Structure 1
Amino acid sequence: METKKISKRKLQSAQTREKLLHAGQETFIEYGFQKTTISQIIKKAKTGYGTAYVYFKNKDDLLIELLEDVMARFYEIANMTYKPTSKKEAYDLIEQQSILFLDMANKEKLMMQVIEEAIRLSDNVRKKWTEIREQFIKRISEDIAYAQKNELARIDVDCSIVARAWFHANEMYLWEIVKDVKTPPIKEIVHNIASIYTGGLYK
């Protein structure tokens, strides 16, 4: 009987947390990060103030969890299997990843607009974004190291420095897409930057 009570409490807790996150996402998208208040989110979620603060200290805390959820979908793309056996295969894999990455920015545009604003206004969100960026750069660096080890890429360059430059190129276009800056089609962007990247790095 006690186990059933605990399970029920856990379920209720998970449901309450999910309601707050869902309400937070809708409120942030409607009002933007700066104009959203934790009170608005709590009211929309129809939960008590005391209950809400058990899960999230403030709106920054809630936005960070939403940020992590969105970026997990981006990271699935970055974490795709990368074991090319030729320069052409490396280009094809890199092109595919970059197209999916920028397409995801387009699909998640509304939430990414909130995140972009929050990065500018919140030290906590900016710190979390920096941590997430480093995860992507580390993953790219591992891919470059794999190519170097297998004699596909130049070994006279530092994989972590090249990885950072490649991520910055993709990130720049990600934010331009999010902010509705007029850009060429995604496939055209990727063809150009991926060609320069692989042309300079791979043998």
Structure 2
Amino acid sequence: MKKAGDQPSTRQLRSIETREKLLSAGRDIFVEYGFQKATISQIIKKANTGYGTAYVHFKNKDAILIVLMEDVMHKFHQIAEASFSPHSKDEAKEIIEKQAYSFLKLAEKERSIMRVFEQAIGFSTSASSKWKEIREKFIQRISKDILYSYQNGLAKEDLNYELAARGWFFANEMYLWEIVRGEQTASVEEIAKTITAVYTSGLYQ
């Protein structure tokens, strides 16, 4: 039996290395060809691994895309999971604006692969389902922050905080995709400042 603290075996290390090579190759192929035109064969060839070995890890290109989506969106979740315990409306606004800016700036940084995700969401059932799952995770986190504000006398009492959370995420999501497509008409700083001002003025007392 493998004990805690034991080093992975040579076989396990090779398996991890192969998986990482496939994911790296997948990202490159998706960015180069787009989700629709990319094939699992192209990914396997670029990863320089055998078909049998590759299919042990991923059954198709959708499976590779889902892991890439999870990995990239984890970076966004880290922003959303930042500590939120303001003592005033101004402090809350400052934290929220910083989060919005970081969230949208990351979308700008990850633009190439995020474009692939947007394509995949429109054509792959598994990618669409994964995005809905990701979206709900964000909304749950935002709801938690709003509930904190409500419980500490900062947020207005006559608002449905779950609806407010959905509205805030959808505002960020809309600008995220505009940034990914290069369609935004203002800087990330201005977008974050503006949507935060609108959101907090409606939510906080």
TM > 0.5 fold call? yes
Alignment partner, residue 167 of structure 1: 169
Distance 1:157 1:78 in 2: 22
Contact preservation (8 Å) 1:177, 1:183: no
Equivalences for residues 175-190 of structure 1 within 5 A: 175-190=177-192
Secondary structure of residue in 2 paired with 1:61: helix
Q: Could you list the runs of 4 or more consecutive aligned residues of structure 1 that deviate by over 4 angstroms after TM superposition?
A: 2-6
Equivalences for residues 1-203 of structure 1 within 5 A: 7-203=9-205
Per-residue Cα deviation, 1:161-187 (whole angstroms, up to 9, x for no partner): 100000000000000000111420111
Superposition deviation, residue 5 in structure 1 = 10
Distance 1:40 1:188 in 2: 41
Distance 1:58 1:19 in 2: 15
Distance 1:186 1:67 in 2: 22
Aligned partner of 2:67: which letter?
A: E
Per-residue Cα deviation, 1:93-143 (whole angstroms, up to 9, x for no partner): 000000000000000000000000000010110000000000000000000
- TM-score (normalised: structure 1): 0.97
Aligned partner of 1:90: which letter?
A: A
Superposition deviation, residue 192 in structure 1 = 1.1
Distance 2:193 2:38 in 1: 39
Superposition deviation, residue 190 in structure 1 = 1.2
5+ residue gaps, structure 2? none
Per-residue Cα deviation, 1:52-109 (whole angstroms, up to 9, x for no partner): 0110110001000000000000000000000000000000000000000000000000
Larger mean CA deviation between 85-94 and 185-194 belongs to: 185-194
Give percent identity, aligned residues only: 55
- TM-score (normalised: structure 2): 0.96
Superposition deviation, residue 158 in structure 1 = 1.3
Number of residue-to-residue matches in the alignment: 202
Aligned partner of 1:77: which letter?
A: I
Distance 2:149 2:129 in 1: 31
